[in-house]
Amino acid sequence: MKTAQMWLLGMALLSVQVNAQDLGTRVQHALAVARDHAELTARMLGDSTTLPRSSTPTGRWVTVPPSDWTSGFFPGLLWNLYSWFTTPALQHDAKRFTDRLTSQQNNTRTHDVGFMMFCSFGNAQRLSPSETYQQILLQSARSLASRFDPRVGSIKSWDGTPRWGYPVIVDNLMNLELLFWASRNGGPAAYRDVATRHALATLANHVRPDGSTFHVVDYDTVTGDVVARQTAQGFSDGSVWARGQAWAVYGFTMVYRETHDERFLKTAQRTADYFVNHLPADGVPYWDFEAPDIPDAPRDASAGAIAASALLELCTMGTDTVRQHRYRVEAELILGSLTSAAYLSQGPPAARGILNHATGNHPHGLEIDVSLIYGDYYFVEALLRYNRLMSMAPPRAGSR
């Protein structure tokens, strides 16, 4: 094992033993680090129209235009930090970075319009409501719903791929939150049916008997039949891409919150069980659960952050207290590691991101062992969910 990996493992094993009091302290420290880094990033970007996407521990942000799928996460991160620290500066930055995405309300070319607009304008509307934000969200939902084909029963993910005719990726579940919101806030009630049908198709066609998930399902638009089950970002078609699995846990949990349909709770639990049953000792997944070079394979801290946030919601759902306890303990295990020196970025001025050791697209050799803005977004969301839970229940140890 290489020296860096041995150090990572050592730090990870230490973090497994973190107790609840330590975790509480570390969560508050991580939030302060997140605020410092986000404020620095906001200052650094100034008035340019771009948004941050990825960075190395010593590097600068790689920035992207508002049309990139990741554009909503930095504004959303600022809104979430504002909800905790309530400083006028954070609110000001959250507003100005959110405004950069205004044109994307008319983007009908990608399912990611849900990610982009609900993380930015959705958080804006939650924390600083306005008629302008409301209308932008409703138009964004219209753009997203335009990609639904009733013959397939799903929203198309990507256009113009040579490999697939009507690809739907498991990540797409996350976009449904915008449609559920719109159906409750002045948009057509039919958006709720669109979102529910999409989630049912994902349940039927992406989730395997063992609770793991296929990344890409391609459909025949005439018959609505499944043509292929493959991967774009995982190790192989039959393997389990860690972030895809995390999207499934988060997505089905959110769909259950919105519908109270027990089928979605069961599926959230099945996908969560797969996730937590296949984690390494420190709770941070390798980029694919079946990566051939485990334990030397890169981790994906973003998948850990997404899953931690999802588990902190899932542990409040249903009536099975044993499961609830397990999900909470697993979330605390993941957060114990992500708030440790092994994963938490060590401060400005060199570092830009918040969470180190995330992997964007391993098969294409892109964004390996970096900070990713969506990892940072869901990490902060998980820290805030942890704080909310702690105010409702006494601290518990974070080991499993």
State the residues that interact with ligand GLY by CB under 6 A: 171, 233, 243
Edge-to-edge, what's the strand order for the sheet holding 51-55? Answer: 62-64, 51-55, 366-372, 358-361
Of 157 and 267, nearer to ligand GLY (C-beta) is 157
Overall residue count recorded for the chain in this entry: 400
Alpha-carbon span 35 to 206, nearest angstrom: 37
Q: Provide, rounded to whole angstroms, the least separation between the CB of residue 306 and ligand GLY.
A: 9
Report the residue number whose CB is nearest to ligand GLY. Answer: 171
Of 185 and 361, nearer to ligand GLY (C-beta) is 361
Q: Provide, rounded to whole angstroms, the least separation between the CB of residue 243 and ligand GLY.
A: 5
Q: CB of 371 within 8 A of CB of 40?
A: no
Q: Residues 22, 36, 47, 112: which is the catalytic one?
A: 112
Q: Provide, rounded to whole angstroms, the least separation between the CB of residue 367 and ligand GLY.
A: 9
Q: Residues 171, 288, 369, 376: which is the catalytic one?
A: 171
Residues in Cβ contact with 11 at an 8 Å cutoff, skipping those fewer than 6 apart: 340, 341, 342
171 is catalytic: yes
Q: Provide, rounded to whole angstroms, the least separation between the CB of residue 238 and ligand GLY.
A: 19
Q: CB of 305 within 8 A of CB of 382?
A: yes
68 is catalytic: no
Of 26 and 362, nearer to ligand GLY (C-beta) is 362
- Tokens 């069980």 -> residue: 273
- Catalytic residue numbers, as ranges: 112, 171
